[in-house]
Amino acid sequence: MIYKKCRTEFFFSLGLLFLTVNFLSLTSKAQTSRQRILINSDWRFFKGDPSDAKGIFYDVRPKVTDRNDNIVADTRANQTNTVISDSGLKKWILPSANNFIKDPLRHYQRPEGNPGGNVSFVQNNFDDSQWEHINLPHDWAIKGPFYEGNNAAVGGGMGRLPIQGVGWYRKKIDITPADKGKSVFLDIDGAMSYAMVWLNGNLVGGWPYGYNSFRLDLTPYLKFDGDNQIAIRLDNPNSSSRWYPGAGIYRNVWLTKVNPVHVAQWGTFVRSRNVSASSATVDLTVQVENKSGKEQSIKAVTEVYSLDGQLRRVKKVASFPASVTNIRANDKQQIESSVVIKNPLLWGPPPSQKPNLYAAVTCLYLDGKIIDEYESRFGIRSLNFDPVKGLFVNDKPVRIQGVNQHHDLGALGAAFNTRAAERQLEILREMGCNAIRMAHNPPSPELLDLTDRMGFLVIDEIFDCWERGKTPLDFHLIFPDWHEADTRAFIRRDRNHPSIIAWSFGNEVGEQYTADTGALVAKKLYDIVKEEDNTRPATASMNYAKPEMPFSKEMDIINLNYQGEGIRDAPAYAHLKGIRTSPLYPAFHEKFPDKLILSSETASTLSTRGTYVFPVANEISAPVSDSTGGDPKNKYVSAYELYTAQFGASPDKVFAS
């Protein structure tokens, strides 16, 4: 079953398909070959632009004239980008996506010039001593104050907190003469949003989508005889989300130092097949990057270790066959290998199973010397989805009881805190939850580490909208340029996590309404997902598309938001406008008898614990209002679990459907 913040939602499996999965994390022990340094401490922060920052923005945005904050959540997404501009820094930022664009002919070429290089905030000698001294992760908006009144700069849908505007972060990084000849990368796990990065006054690149993790190559701009100054500009628009997005560098930031020949970013893919208690076949793909400027012959050796509960290596259990390969200058090469592990410790959800983890440790050798060591954590397990019997993990039935979870941590804001996230999972487990849908964006990498270790099942989701937006300044503005890079980066980062059972590439998108045109967009995203990982089903959650529509056909599994039990389908909802459907579980099952039907959002009841408002509605499900179930004076909702959002239904109605 599945719940969402501020309203009750259930998700449960009605049938499913087939899958085996695994998981990755980036760590390293060989300090001489690879260093991954957390650089969260001792940053300086300033809200706003300097007076000399004219023209420093990503792209021209549409002007927002209506900040209507009373839009019903399932209103049809119909925002389109009508602004065409050739100004801003977009042309310099787009090349940051090239590693995740499959066709080299579509790679972006960086223009000449160094925009922003003369801005005071990016200079090494700029005095930032009066700026706020902070540590990351950081959410500049959570401390408030809250906006009040109608037509506020940031409305209730985004938390009425000051997320909007520009913020700058500065930090000096430690680069020594010993780093000469190495490749040095800046890895940002999440920055909200439209990140642009300068090093020593040089524009390095950036990434607009605030939820995705990204890497920038600092190597060409490093100085080995003095301080190296990082300056990061974020530009967080209002009217850009349907929930509280947070603001700032709200996840971890890393400095990665490697030799020129190294395992590429998120460069391993570990998956398992033929899984049983007696043996399992583990397949490994390693992508090696050569930035040395000449062809190199390298040897790759990967050993598999079992891990204990603290993720410490216990013992070696297998070795992949060693591989020798030649890699051309400034190119990448994939190495494929397989190994059979005897009597594997399987990953599975508690309480009936244990979430056992392994580490594949890949070492690269050049001329007999180790040049890189890269650890990929993963799990061995099988998942089978039966359209009638449901989910089987390692051939054992598991009833999915899940929640939708947004990325913020309540009063702590969006700044990720591992213990707070772990506490959330502990509370969810206590109430019987064993699954999470990441609504509706990529989560922090550390959250997936927790779901792996604790044994939760995960649907990993990336987009809330595509080309047709839900708010004036949301992701639809950059979807045409960034959907491929964002999707590939998302999959590569997360695909080794055993907790992930399916990919979701959309939530209630406007393309459901546009027949074949929308289905083509869905197919494009589906194909990208399957190119990056064909071991898991790919889907998008639907609140409008019907069984006979082309959009529904593009999914491996059928994710339904409220349509299963019917939307505005009971007598008490007859006066409401919006989507209206009868219960559609039977129709979808008849149309797609071999596909999973998953209720990815359901119910959406509202209540205030211990509060009862009379008279009580006669129906088993009714929309809350000031006259039905609601107490407008005290802002309460009756606790009978009968009253719902406009598009919702009570649990009684859900199970009756």
Whole-angstrom Cα distance, residue 102 to residue 405? 31
DSSP letter assigned to residue 616? P
Bridge partners (DSSP) listed for residue 319: 303
CA angle 144–149–151, rounded 5-degree value: 100
Q: Measure the CA–CA gap between 336 and 324, rounded to whole angstroms.
A: 11
| C-alpha closest to that of 301 among 263, 258, 260 | 263
Token pair, residue 249, equals 């560098």
The strand ranges marked E within 274-343 are 279-290, 296-307, 313-319, 323-327, 331-342
Q: 20 and 500 in contact (C-beta within 8 Å)?
A: no
Of the candidates 67, 65, 25, 11, the one whose C-alpha atom is nearest the C-alpha of residue 187 is: 25
How far apart (Å, rounded) are the C-alpha atoms in residues 538 and 530? Answer: 7
Size of the chain in residues: 657
The residues near 615 (Cβ < 8 Å, ≥ 6 apart) are none
Q: Going by C-beta distance under 8 Å and a sequence separation of 6 or more, which residues neighbour residue 252?
A: 38, 40, 136, 137, 189, 416, 444, 445, 446
CA distance 362 to 138: 33
User: How many other C-beta atoms lie within 10 A of the C-beta of residue 60?
Assistant: 14
Determine how many CB atoms are found less than 10 A away from the CB of residue 358: 28
Residue type at 642? L
* Close Cβ partners of 200 (under 8 Å, ≥ 6 residues apart): 124, 221, 222, 223, 228, 229
List active site positions.
508, 601
Decide: 378 and 360 in contact? Cβ < 8 Å.
yes
Query: CA 434, CA 442: separation in Å to the nearest integer?
Result: 19
